[in-house]
Structure 1
């Protein structure tokens, strides 16, 4: 799909009241001027940056039309503010808080966009991230959000949260190599996809319980599958900062007697935005357990290629936005080629997600891609259907009913 548009944002000096109380009015005015100059040094000539009456700044980033591109831009802004300002010989740390919303770039309703950016700004204030991107779910009032979180907690207890499995297949032979575990919420009357609740869950402790459940369930399922198959589980970046993930993974593998290399932990490029050194250490610890690490949505949000050299990663997943357009767009095709070459030079496996036609599948195979995943092969399936369709179901004695198919075609 085309990646076009702009980002409109509201940016403010973080903890302004604390800085004013600590340094006094005159010094605070100087700090605000330093903040203004750094912010204006960040925006490009084609962007807009104007101070509003309330002290916040209206920013319009032209041609920044995706979360990944915004993360690149905000990573640069974070680097600009890493250097402290020295006032009377003493360092003063200046930080920003921002909220952004994506607009089409045509017939922009700035009043509506500023409202949405304001919603994202308030969310950023209440979270540990310096910025946030507006999502419609953020319009939910606090009471409704608390009710949804309680429903999620109950859904986990009563078994309404379940894993569906989407096959990952060999790019050349189309033989089954494993699956990605994807969360679904089975209520009494409908099936709810993760886009309806995961972002809200990530703002609350319930995401920790959901993720531990997903890891343990995936490992338990692996114990029933042939040794050559693997399962990938998505983990939110902030959970990598929770040392408990190491014990959860280790204990699950030990209890079910699963070879660690059969479990893949999928993380997005956002892990390298907030605290890259800590994230590198945590990924390294997970890898020492023997599990595989996969970098999801590659190409949409990498803060710096300098990190790539040191990443403890076994697998790169090319984002579906590049895959879906590679037949029509020479630029997207060039990106796919470059990612495959770069990953292979670092001895990493390459997975292409969002493969929706056999033409794309064949072209990816010709380019040397290792693994394919997408609706052309299958959608995410309930575990019973997945195991039955792919010869993984077991009889009453626990034996496989048939061998895994050699080809999905």
Structure 2
């Protein structure tokens, strides 16, 4: 049991284990055992840990008095799981992520500490980081968040989520080439909610996975009704790239609706190449191999390097709106946009600019040889029926 000297409580999760997949029960048991052995090697003599389920453990780190010391402990956690586990000559990767919260005599509520560590864990998973420390800013009111999460789960079950489509146009001809599919919540009482009111919450919890799968399948079914020359892009969370059946799910949906894979564009975070596991990069490569196009979303806001850009199997980069919106009045933003366009083209990648909210910006981007434009200068995200009427799809 926790005592007064305990400084941090953490949840450590083996994220590439699927305890619900009966086909891999033997492998999962091997991973589970290896997970436990590595945790034992990682913790100090004064620390304590126990399994919560097959792929998640609770740890109590004693005698750690600062976040600096916790970061050192996390670095050791990274080292402990860096090498794969070998079984019968087969290398089995062990991918872990963790969430921590302070836990001392001023915070003796174990249930609250577990909840806070869980929030930090979900944030670490979503951002593809090794660990996250709960700061208190993530959830100012856990009760309200829990209530909203329950509503969101019901919304998914009751078909209240819908994809709205924002057009993407060719920069030179201004002809329609496709759209980005953006999840909106058609709330019974609050009306239509844009994604910034609920997606961040979903990304901190497992519900982002069924939402994203639903979005992918819905987008592919929409492509089956649209002209062949149009494509749809949508954002996917990094943790889905650790799902063993992700490739099969996408392939099966494309086959079921008889859609050319090249018409589906999946947008991934720029940070996907930073500190993430080979499993994620392998999944991206396999999706790209079957013809799905891959885009780096919000390019320029993350921490990737030229080496990551070189090694990632991507077809295009998407310049974040934070640079595009003010590029005509900010020389620095203008320089960043130009540098990204030139850099991407040197790698034979296309460039999408989002946040194009004026024709003046669109004209300047055309002069800079940007390939694709997206923003309110052309249209807001529209429900599928309105998009079909407006663009005769």
TM-score normalized by the length of structure 2 = 0.70
Residue 314 of structure 1 corresponds to 315
| Aligned CA-pair RMSD | 3.4
Shift of 1:150: 2.6
**Equivalent-residue separation in structure 1 for 2:11 and 2:252 (angstroms):** 41
Partner residue in 2 for 1:180: 180
C-alpha contact 2:99 2:118 (8 A) present in aligned 1: no
2:27 aligned residue = none
Asked whether 1:156 is paired with 2:152, we answer no
Q: Distance in 1 between matches of 2:212 and 2:186?
A: 17
Partner of 1:66: none
Structure-2 residue corresponding to 1:110: none
Q: Distance in 2 between matches of 1:165 and 1:263?
A: 14
Gap runs ≥5 in structure 2: 1-6, 13-38, 48-62, 81-96, 102-114
Q: Which runs of 5+ in 1 are unaligned?
A: 1-10, 29-52, 60-73, 85-94, 100-118, 393-409
Q: TM-score, normalised to structure 1's length?
A: 0.68
Q: Which residue of 2 aligns with 1:124?
A: 120
Shift of 1:145: 3.4
Which whole-Å deviations, capped at 9, do the CAs of 1:35-74 have from their partners, x for residues lacking one? xxxxxxxxxxxxxxxxxx9812489xxxxxxxxxxxxxx9
Check 1:133–1:199 CA distance in 2 against 1; reply closer, same or farther (3 A cut). farther
1:79/1:58 CA distance change after superposition, 3 Å = closer
Q: For residue 238 of structure 1, what is the aligned residue in structure 2?
A: 239
Aligned to 1:358: 359
1:97 CA displacement: 6.3
SS in 1 for 2:139: helix
Aligned partner of residue 336 in structure 2, secondary structure: helix
Residues 315, 132 of structure 1: CA spacing in aligned structure 2 closer, same or farther, 3 A cutoff? farther
The alpha-carbon deviation at position 140 of structure 1 amounts to 3.1
Question: Residue 397 of structure 1 aligns with which residue?
Answer: none
Distance 1:173 1:125, change over 3 A: closer
1:125/1:348 CA distance change after superposition, 3 Å: closer
Inter-partner Cα distance in structure 1 for 2:154 and 2:269: 28
Please say if residues 266 and 296 of structure 1, whose CA atoms lie closer than 8 Å, have aligned partners that are also in contact.
yes
**Deviation larger for 127-136 or 240-249:** 127-136
CA-CA distance at 1:306 after TM superposition: 1.3
Decide whether aligned partners of structure 1 residues 54 and 294 sit closer, same or farther in structure 2, where only a CA change above 3 A counts. same
**2:84 maps to what in 1?**
none
Q: What is the DSSP-based 3-state SS (H/G/I as helix, E as strand, rest coil) of the residue aligned with 2:294?
A: strand
1: CA distance, partners of 2:172 / 2:378? 13
For 2:30, the equivalent position in structure 1 comes to none
Q: What CA deviation, in whole Å up to 9, does each residue of 1:102-126 have, x standing for no partner?
A: xxxxxxxxxxxxxxxxx98773256
SS of alignment partner, residue 355 of structure 1: coil
- Asked whether 1:292 is paired with 2:288, we answer no
Q: Deviations over 1:112-157 (max 9, x none)?
A: xxxxxxx98773256544126879662231x543432332222122
Aligned partner of 2:342 in structure 1 is 341
**1:203-236 alpha-carbon deviations (Å, 9 max, x no partner):** 3222111111101111111111110000001101
